[in-house]
Amino acid sequence: MKNIASHISLQPFNSFGVDVLARYFVSAGSLEDIQEILEWNKIHQQRLLVLGGGSNVLFTHDYDGLVLQNTLKGISKIKEDDNYVYIKAMAGENWHSFVQYCVANQYQGIENLSLIPGNVGASPMQNIGAYGVEIKDVFDSLDALHLPDGEMVSFTHAQCKFGYRESIFKQSLRNQFLIISVTYKLRKQPKFTVSYGNIEQALEQMGVKELSIETIANAVIQIRQSKLPDPNKIGNAGSFFKNPVIHQTFYEALQKLYPGIPGFPGNDKFMTKVPAAWLIEQTGWKGYRKGDAGCYPLQPLVLVNYGKATGTDIYALSSEIIESVQEKFGIILEREVNIY
Ligand SMILES: Cc1cc2nc3c(=O)[nH]c(=O)nc-3n(C[C@H](O)[C@H](O)[C@H](O)COP(=O)(O)OP(=O)(O)OC[C@H]3O[C@@H](n4cnc5c(N)ncnc54)[C@H](O)[C@@H]3O)c2cc1C
């Protein structure tokens, strides 16, 4: 039987570095391990939390249940045709290592998602995205265990119901499935996306004359390293809030009051996406610090733990930010990070 430990600190397992205890903790590196743990839990009936790299969670108290860290490994090519290669990666593979594997093999489509922390298994959870690319653009299918009965189920693209930092696994199927592997459909003939963020500028500074998968990955890495805090040095979970998507007429009304308010096309022509970072900066939170909880000076969308902040400190700061943005702009920010 797998060694299920009790009263384990989760500090090394969450990128905020918050020190809470899990009542039970276990690491599972094979399907057999997972099946055994689920059998154990049929008897012990613990609330179950599946953890990948812990880079999108905030623990606000001890976890009274079983934390299962998924460490399943393996990458394989399952098929290819003239245009695409289908690569299946096990959920416990580190996301950035997987991106680098694809870059090295000239499989194109996820180079813009370089350096996002965490594991493959969580990538469809919130349809991870950066620099104009989201997982949904390259997703083929996934296999997941249905936790209540241990059945393996395959999900197609349509069944995942991807949205902006959303999927069915964060909504109606929350806590119902343990993602085992994800298959990505990557291009053999590149179709690069470079018009987002500062990619073009970074490529120019790097003296790049011809676009390639490697140069784009390197540009993204360079940009991210220059503005995002390294979780190994300063605890954080990346963007704490989603960028709000508001109705176009509301956006136009706000524009009259705040002519500088930025806006980008939302899901359809009636909606506009407003950068949460701008709203947070305008309400005076950028660089704010209370104890060890703070709003990162270079990117106010990122809340940080400078050392000994608790999950409650960080959560309280996020609530204050939500309140003041709502008061000033009438927009309610939504947390992107999963709160436990
Ligand atoms: C510095 C920094 C930068 C970031 N930048 C970005 C960015 O640009 N874009 C972006 O989208 N995100 C970003 N993030 C957020 C985060 O890296 C991603 O959301 C990532 O996919 C989380 O992976 P994880 O393995 O750490 O998930 P975890 O934090 O371990 O888990 C996140 C959620 O998924 C669930 N989960 C995890 N694995 C599984 C599984 N196998 N089966 C079922 N449920 C599972 C967990 O229960 C939890 O609810 C950033 C984070 C940091 C710290």
Interval between CA 238 and ligand 1 midpoint (Å)? 9
Is the pLDDT at 36 greater than 70? The verdict is yes
Tokens of 92: 């416990």
- So what's the pLDDT on residue 330? 98
What's the confidence (pLDDT) of residue 209? 86
Q: Is residue 231 predicted with pLDDT exceeding 90?
A: yes
3-state SS, 169-237, equals CCCCCCCCEEEEEEEEEEECCCCCCCCCCCHHHHHHHCCCCCCCHHHHHHHHHHHHHHHCCCCCCCEEE
What's the Cα-to-Cα distance from 89 to each of 65, 80, 83, rounded to whole Å?
Answer: 28, 15, 20
Confidence class for position 318, pLDDT limits 50, 70, 90: very high
Strands, sheet with 271-273, edge to edge from the N-terminal-most edge strand:
245-247, 271-273, 264-265
Q: What is the DSSP letter of 82?
A: S
**Distances from the Cα of 6 to the Cαs of 34, 67, 96, 133, 206, in angstroms?**
17, 10, 31, 40, 50
Contact 255, 270 (CB under 8 A): no
Q: What is the pLDDT of residues 162-210, one digit of tens each?
A: 999 999 999 999 999 999 999 999 999 999 999 888 899 999 999 998 8
d(CA 51, CA 56): 10
Report the distance separating Cα 94 and Cα 107, nearest Å.
Answer: 17
pLDDT of residue 285: 98
What b-and-e string marks burial along 177-197, b requiring 16 or more CB atoms within 10 Å of the CB? bbbbbbbbbbbeeeebebeeb
Question: By percentage, how much of the chain surpasses pLDDT 90?
Answer: 94
Indicate the average pLDDT of the chain: 96
- Confidence grade of residue 214 (pLDDT, cut at 50, 70, 90): very high
What's the pLDDT tens digit per position in 278-312?
999 999 999 999 999 999 999 999 999 999 999 99
Token representation of residue 28: 């599972």
Across the range 27-44, mean pLDDT stands at 94
Q: What is the DSSP string of 89-122?
A: EETTSBHHHHHHHHHHTT-BS-GGGTT--SBGGG
- Provide the whole-model pTM: 0.95
281 a catalytic residue: no
* Backbone phi, psi, residue 6, to 5°: -120, 155
Tell which atom from ligand 1 comes closest to the C-alpha of 50: 47
Tell me what pLDDT residue 165 has: 92
Please give the pLDDT value at position 265: 87
**Confidence (pLDDT) at 196:** 86
336 is catalytic: yes
- Angle at which helices 95-104 and 213-227 cross, to 10°: 150
CA-nearest residue for atom 18, ligand 1, is: 56
**Burial readout 95-131 (b: 16 or more C-beta within 10 A, e: otherwise):** bbebbbebbeeebbbbbbbbbbbbbbbbbbbbbbbbb
- Which of the residues 165, 167, 181, 318 is marked catalytic? 165
72-122: per-residue pLDDT in tens? Answer: 999 999 999 999 999 999 999 999 999 999 999 999 999 999 999 999 999
Distance from Cα 121 to the centre of ligand 1, integer Å: 9
Is the CB of 17 inside a 6 Å radius of any atom of ligand 1?
A: no
CA-to-CA distance for 157 and 257, rounded, in angstroms?
A: 41
Q: Which of 16, 18, 26, 56 to mutate to test the pocket of ligand 1 (most atoms within 8 A of CB)?
A: 56
Identify residue 197 by its one-letter amino acid code: G
Residue 1 has what pLDDT?
A: 60
User: Ligand 1, residues 125, 169, 171, 180: which to mutate, most atoms within 8 A of Cβ?
Assistant: 125
3 confidence band (pLDDT: 50, 70, 90): confident
For residue 243, the surrounding DSSP H or E stretch is none
* Listed residue (178, 142, 155) closest to 28, CA to CA: 178
Q: DSSP code of 3? A: -
The one-character DSSP state at 330 is S
Checking if the pLDDT of 276 tops 90, the result is yes
Phi-psi bin for 179: left (phi > 0), alpha (psi -120 to 50), beta? beta
pLDDT band at 224 (very low <50, low <70, confident <90, very high): very high
Averaged pLDDT, 323-330: 98
Q: In the 8-state DSSP scheme, what is residue 241? A: B
> CA dist 47 to 8, 64, 104, 144, 332, Å?
16, 7, 40, 18, 30
DSSP state of 135: G
**Tens digits of per-residue pLDDT, 47-75?**
999 999 999 999 999 999 999 999 999 99
What Rg do the C-alpha atoms of the chain give, in angstroms? Answer: 21
Q: Is the pLDDT of residue 154 over 80?
A: yes
